[in-house]
Amino acid sequence: MQFAIKPARKSIVNVMRSLSLKQKKFLDFINNFTLTQNEAPTYDEIMLGLGFKSLGTVNWYVKTLEEGWGRNLDRLNLKRRNAFYGDWWDEASQWRTGGYDRVCAGVQGSPTTAETAEKGVKGSLFVNEVLCVRPGEQLSFLNEVVDKRVPVMEDYNVSPTGLWEVTTNSHEVVMVWATTVEDWTRMRKNLDTTRGLDDSGEEDRRLVENLNLLSSYVVSGDTQLMTPMPGTVYGPSDWEEANEQDWYK
């Protein structure tokens, strides 16, 4: 999550790691205050709102969250090969031909890896959305996605594995969904049927409402369909059996 503090204009804090319940409560207060008041709370307002006894407690939370952000950002620099990836990094560098790393922060409602694994979410198809919204609207858009889009997508067995604000600019968001080819096709078919473009699905007005939600925020972007590597956290346990002739039927 992201917020700004008014007194002394403290730097923006980006949280990119698992939070304790107290830390989540701290950020929830700031987010809710910002959404209702259209401005970030002061240290005094945070202290009173959360029942802290001193401004030092507020400052401790801010510093702790800043340090957590710093540790995660440090994993993106030159230390990452030896500390995290080893020989895999050398192998991957021979195949990667483009792209760049984004520093992201999950919104409230974006599942952690542990939460996704606990729910047993697996996918044979992953949908990766990298979208540009109106500048300054990243959090508003993602909050609406959590409230309105996620429940509908989950009805079609399309589960979010990450809903992130890109913290290095004011307009990008990244959303990744785990599903199957069959479930994704069924959802798209129902959307087209609802829009009068097909007659083989079932009408579902919620899908059009979600499309309108995207249209009200998104100005550009790309969606990629990806096949996971078997054995990965959210991927299938093994490759599926298939024959080349299956595609010629």
CATH assignment of 2-74? 1.10.10
What's residue 24's pLDDT? 77
Q: What whole-number distance in Å separates Cα of residue 247 and Cα of residue 202?
A: 26
Report the candidate in 174, 152, 143, 148 with the shortest Cα–Cα distance to residue 161: 174
Cα 2–Cα 18–Cα 151 angle in degrees, nearest 5: 75
Residues of the chain with pLDDT under 50: 1-17
- Distance (Å, rounded) from C-alpha 16 to C-alpha 19? 9
In this prediction, residue 236 carries a pLDDT of: 78
* CATH architecture of residue range(s) 102-239: 2-Layer Sandwich (3.30)
Determine the Cα–Cα distance for residues 137 and 151; give it in Å rounded to an integer. Answer: 21
Residue 226 phi/psi, 5° resolution?
-125, 145
Amino acid identity of residue 154, one-letter, is: E
Listed in order, the ranges of the chain carrying CATH 3.30.70.100 are 102-239
pLDDT digits over 182-241, tens only? 999 999 999 999 999 988 999 999 999 999 999 999 999 999 998 888 877 777 777 776
Boundaries of CATH 1.10.10 in the chain?
2-74
Residue 165: its pLDDT value, please?
A: 92
Q: What's the pLDDT at 182?
A: 93
CA distance linking residue 204 with residue 210, whole number of Å: 11
Report the C-alpha gap between 170 and 138 in whole angstroms. Answer: 7
Under 8 Å between Cβ of 27 and 3:
yes
Q: Are 165 and 104 in contact (CB under 8 A)?
A: yes
- Strands 159-166 and 104-106, by their bridges, are antiparallel
- The dihedrals phi and psi of 171, each to the nearest 5 degrees, come to -140, -15
Q: In this structure, what token pair is assigned to residue 61?
A: 């939370």
Q: Tokens 């809903």 belong to which residue?
A: 163
